[in-house]
Structure 1
Amino acid sequence: MNKSKLLFFLITMYGTILTLSSNSWISMWMGMEMNMIAFIPLMNSKNKTSSEAMMIYLLVQSMSSMMFMFSIMMFNLTMYSMFMNMVTISLLIKLGASPFHLWLPEILTKMSWTNSAILMTWQKIAPLSVLNNMVYDNKIMCLSIILCVSMGALGGLNQMSLRKIMGYSSINHLGWMLSLSKVKNNWMNYLIIYTIMVAMMCWMFHQYNMVHINQVNNMDMTLTEKMTYLMSMMSLGGLPPFLGFLPKWLTIQTLIMDKMYVMITIMIMCSLLSLFYYMRTMTKMMLSFSMMNKWVVTKSNMMIINMMTIVNMSLPLMLIMNMI
């Protein structure tokens, strides 16, 4: 990373921290603007389509920021409910939540895996923290949660691009995070675990230069690498006994305590649908044992692969330690 990119990365982090520590609408808006303006140069890469991704991101984020600023300026002239609805819609656009989600999978196909990981994780913190600070029974939020989990599950079913699959997976997980931000202030726990899972998956995709599903099927991996990829994908789908089941378990418990039975039923059913397209990426690879390299070759990244296996299996390990 050169010095200019390091500077923009630090400004991106500072913008998010400013939004988190703000107690006024204007300073929150300033933090999100700093974050957006500094992230755009980070998106620039050797990929020819990165400039198109930068333009799409700038237009979408500028529109949501203008809407956010306009609603703040009109706060004293409009009804409180109308003001909160406008702020909520502007933040949902910024997050890429459904029904304003179409730009997110499209932009991910034009970015590198590193930038995609930042967009799917760090860039969600500031808008989610602002949404969490809004104490208001918002029906738009409930509708967006249901649309996020359903569109995130259905949108990825027909995709062959791994970046689009990760994009729709991000939309699906965003629905779970929004449900926690609506009910309780523990969405950050979900985001931290989701960040760990996305970082591991994006590292693996970047390391092996994977872009489409058929590339995954034809990869010459050792059994350890295949099992690590399998566990990482299953963890991202929230399948027990892997780490990704923990945040969904906590979310289900929280929503049941708040008696939101219909919403949690829809979310669980859509989560099962999303597991289908996770399994599509690995089924052929796991079944093609004859194509696997029988001689175990020690690679330089085997230590990271083993660490990923330990992290994915940390949920049962924590339960065993708790029982002891």
Structure 2
Amino acid sequence: MKINLTSSLFMAIMMVGVMITLSSNSMLMMWVGLELSMISFIPMMTMEENSGSESSMKYFIIQSISSCMLILGMLCILMNFMSEYIMILSLCIKIGLAPFHGWVLSMVDGLSYFLLFILLSIMKISPIFIISFYNFNFSLFIIISLMIGSFSGLNQNSIRKLISYSSIYNLGFMFSTLHLNSVWSMYLFIYSIILMMIVMLLMNFNLNYLNQFLLNNFNFKEKMVLWTCLLSLGGMPPMLGFLNKIIIFENLMLNNNYLLLMMMILTSLLVMFYYIRISLISMMTFTLMMKWNFFLKKNYSYLMLLINLMMFPLFVLVKTVS
């Protein structure tokens, strides 16, 4: 998608919708913010050259259904009839939480990496914020998200679908601490930073499928940066992504939720497997350049390396000193 005045206007409207949802004290205004974000995101999808209209139609149908269910839940509040379950179900469909994740995977191949970043980060803020008001046990949804996000990503060749499965997996982590707004918001913020760096690198390299990693003449340090970002997204210590996991693990241990903690640790190994597999393919097995060629062309690569390698030790140091 080309960045022009039209797309900038829709981006501004989308952010206004998010701010309306976060700052409202009534469910009706929160719904208005959700719809404003959706209405501004759909025209951005139609600007895509390949499969943009198909993806926008799928997104519109799913979001319309979930919005109708949300309004139905508001009406059920007046009748005191299963309003909580209907509203939570509609919001889970809206963000693509497993087992309601099928629509996300069917439309991601028609999106650019920029729109994929918006779909998997910014568009999730408002629904998760509304869900956090409900005292509901999401253990079943969390386990399903962890299982689907980890196992289904093992046989994927499309990088967009791989990132989507990783997003479903990370939703399980966020939903485990919905009762703590500071924790899930920090998790989503750090995840968005890592995802933004990966999206920038994939756009720069023009990578869409895993087999494009096999034969390439990318710069060695740029591939090191991509490797670092992928391992950070998977949660490899001491990368920045490991900070997210260690915060979630600490909260689960304080709440004595050891079953969910064990499930997260075991599925994390599977997620790390397919990220390490990408790194092994791109760096160790197949390449057209010498391993000792350390010439660097992109200056922002230094910044990405520093963010991923130094932020977690910095946070640990600050916590220890304070």
Normalising TM by the smaller chain, what interval? Answer: over 0.9
Partner in structure 2 of residue 292 of structure 1: 289
Q: Hey, what does 1:276 align to over in structure 2? A: 273
The 1:25/1:319 distance shift into structure 2, 3 A limit, reads: closer
Matched, 1:305 2:307: no
Pair 1:178 & 2:189 matched: no
Q: How far did 1:222 drift?
A: 2.2
Q: 1:208, 1:290 → 2: CA distance?
A: 15
RMSD of Structure 2 on Structure 1 (CA): 1.8
Q: Counterparts of 1:142 and 1:26 in 2: how far apart (Å)?
A: 28
When structure 1 is superposed on structure 2, of 10-19 and 211-220 the one drifting more is 211-220
Amino acid at match of 1:315: M
Q: Does structure 1 residue 236 correspond to structure 2 residue 233?
A: yes
Aligned to 1:41: 43
Displacement of 1:317: 4.3
Shift of 1:229: 1.3
Counterpart CA distance in 1 for 2:7 and 2:265 is 40
CA offset digits 1:117-156 (Å, max 9, x no partner)? 111110010001101122x2x23x2211111111111111
Counterpart CA distance in 1 for 2:180 and 2:84 is 17
Partner of 1:152: 149
Task: For 1:1-324, list aligned pairs within 5 A.
Answer: 1-79=3-81, 82-134=82-134, 136=135, 138-139=136-137, 141-182=138-179, 185-288=182-285, 291-293=288-290, 297-299=295-297, 302-315=298-311, 317-318=313-314, 322=318
Contact 2:48 2:111 in 1 (8 A): no
Q: Secondary structure at the match of 1:156?
A: helix
Find the residue that maps to 1:306 and give its secondary structure: helix
**Separation of aligned partners in 2, 1:218 and 1:106:** 28
Give the CA deviation at 1:184. 5.4
TM-score normalised according to structure 2 size: 0.93
Structure 2: segments with no counterpart, 5+ residues: none
Distance 1:128 1:185 in 2: 13
Tell me whether 107-116 or 173-182 shows the greater mean CA deviation: 173-182
Q: Following TM superposition, where does structure 1 have runs of at least 4 consecutive aligned residues deviating by more than 4 angstroms?
A: 293-298, 319-324
TM-superposition CA deviations, 1:259-312 (whole Å, max 9, x none): 11111111111111111111222212221376225655552xx11111110111
Q: Report the secondary structure of 2:49's partner residue.
A: coil
Alpha-carbon distance in 2 for matches of 1:40, 1:30: 16
- Whether the 8 Å contact between 1:56 and 1:107 is mirrored in structure 2 is yes
Deviation at 1:76, TM superposition (A): 1.7
Find the residue that maps to 1:188 and give its secondary structure. helix
Aligned equivalents of 1:243, 1:186: Cα separation in 2? 15
In the alignment, is the contact (CA less than 8 A) between 2:11 and 2:40 conserved in 1? yes
For residues 183 and 281 of structure 2, the distance between their equivalents in structure 1, rounded to whole angstroms, comes to: 37
Aligned residues: 317
**C-alpha distance in 1 between matches for 2:126 and 2:312:** 32
The 1:184–1:257 alpha-carbon spacing in structure 2 relative to 1, beyond 3 Å, is farther
Q: Which runs of 5+ in 1 are unaligned?
A: none
